[in-house]
Structure 1
Amino acid sequence: MSIAKIVWLVSALAAVALSFVDTGYDPAILAVLGLASGWFLDLEHRRGVIIAAIFLMAGGAASLNGIPGIGEYLGAILVGLGAVFSGASVMAIVRTLVERIVPGGK
């Protein structure tokens, strides 16, 4: 398993775990994991992650809250994943900018 897959797996597991436990540092943890995950994004996956982050943060994660019993938990998990995807999107945007500006940045 590659380092990129491990970082994404840890980020997803943290988003799930932190949806059930409140440490007080949840946003910071998910942001850092998102930035680390975004570092390992391939060029062809960057657009998809940015679109997923926009969708999740625009309210797509809250759409599951209406399901009785488990909807609130599923919504919280998707909000956490949205935070990870937002951090990854920021890193993807920065990397793309640097690759376009710096000669030989790829």
Structure 2
Amino acid sequence: MSLAKIIWAVSAAAAIILAFINLAGHDAMILAILGLLSGFFLDHNHRRGVIIAAIFLMAGGASALASIVGIGDYLTAILTSLGAVFAAASVMAIVRTLVERIFLSNKEASTA
């Protein structure tokens, strides 16, 4: 298993766990840091999908399952936490794409 997959797995697990427990207000910071790390190891081909997923989850998609009796609130909390991870990963992907476009030549940028 690659380092990128391990970081994404830890990020997903943290989003699920931190949806149910509160670490003295540090859970948002933990999710942001894990999201930034996940975004750093994001393949060029997957960047657009992560950005779209972040937009969808942050724009209200996380609450789409809230009406399910019994588990809707839990699913919303999990998807909201995942939205925070995807948002931070998107920021890193955007910054990384910008840096690649500025500092890499056209030939290197098209393969990155």
Q: Report the AA paired with residue 64 of structure 2.
A: S
Q: Report the AA paired with residue 58 of structure 1.
A: A
Q: Which structure has the bigger radius of gyration?
A: 2
Deviation at 1:63, TM superposition (A): 1.1
Structure 2 residue aligned with 1:5: 5
Identical amino acids, percent of aligned pairs: 68
Structure 2 residue aligned with 1:90: 91
Quote the Cα distance in structure 2 between the aligned partners of 1:62 and 1:46.
23
The count of aligned residue pairs is 106
User: Which sections of structure 2, spanning at least 5 residues, go unmatched?
Assistant: none
Q: Report the AA paired with residue 26 of structure 1.
A: D
Structure 2 residue aligned with 1:39: 40
Q: Secondary structure at the match of 2:42?
A: coil
Structure 1 residue aligned with 2:14: 14
Q: How does 1:69-80 map to 2 (within 5 A)?
A: 69-80=70-81
Quote the Cα distance in structure 2 between the aligned partners of 1:54 and 1:103.
28
Deviation at 1:26, TM superposition (A): 1.0
Structure 1 segments of 4+ aligned residues over 4 angstroms from their partners = none
Could you give the per-residue CA deviations for residues 42-91 of structure 1, whole angstroms, max 9, x where no partner exists?
Answer: 11100000000000000000111111000000000000000000000000
TM-score between the two structures when normalised by the length of structure 2: 0.92
